[in-house]
Amino acid sequence: MAQLTIRPLNATIGAEITGVDFRKPVDAAMREALSKALSDHLALVFPDQSLTPAEYLEAASVFGPPMRQHYSQYNMPDFPNIGVIHHRDGQLPAEGWHTDHTNRECPPAATILYGVEVPASGGETSVANMRVAYRALPDDERTRLDGLRTVNSLDRGRRDVRDEDMEKFGKPVVHPMVRTHPVHRSRALYFHPTKTMHIEGMTPEDSKNYIDGLVSRTIRPEIVYTHTWRKGDIFVIDDRATMHRAHGDYDRSQSRILWRIIVEGDRPELRAV
């Protein structure tokens, strides 16, 4: 196995990893080491990569089999498991905190982003440690959250959802609001604010108010890592214990092109301590 160097990026989340060239095969020992690093640090940065779409798909498979994304109009034509994030396609930055594809029975284990073109400044991606957010809550609220479940679907307010995507991926799916990480065994807050139709037993309005308040109370600067993009960065986000958001504060005359892959995960569940 190549010599990995893991450098934490702050006290609560994120690590930069060097010693990996994803153009070369990754053996079983390195896969295991990277899986552990992701579950420990929740966000991994691999700088100075130079990959074709086929090589990128192979690199992403280190963290799990790639799965098809919705909003299919933004998927790469010849490589449909790669989504292209680019504002000139008409996409708006996903500036609200969220975790990806909670409208699936088995949501992704990780979201993987590759910096193909980056602006001179701005356009960062932030990620928050939701296991620390969960632990910081009062005992009584953690107990309440342990019993709550969200009903999820595709964002019905978006005008760019194709009918075929809504038909395939828009059926209601129920998930716990607190999930146990399958590798780390820790608990974390787990929900997507705009894919939550409602919390079971609550009205949609009350659900939205509670979730919005929970986000504002729990996501604090000390649990956030903000990644400033460099061309060639691969950024891997553990969707099982984080939330993330894009920053739209960049010059739109410049290009910000990220290739996105999501990889298969398990069905969220809350396990007994």
Task: Give per-residue pLDDT as tens, 218-267.
Answer: 999 999 999 999 999 999 999 999 999 999 999 999 999 999 999 999 99
The Cα–Cα gap between 123 and 212 comes to 23
So what's the pLDDT on residue 2?
65
CB 258 within 8 A of CB 116: yes
Q: For the chain, list residues with pLDDT below 50.
A: none
So what's the pLDDT on residue 156?
66
The burial class, CB within 10 Å (0-12 / 13-18 / 19+), for 44 is buried
CB 71 within 8 A of CB 160: yes
So what's the pLDDT on residue 1?
55
Q: Is the pTM of this model over 0.85?
A: yes
DSSP character string of 80-110: EEEEEE-GGGTPPP--S-B-TTTTSSS--SE
Query: Hey, what domains does the chain have and what are their CATH numbers?
Result: 5-263 (3.60.130.10)
Looking up tokens 């956030």 gives 224
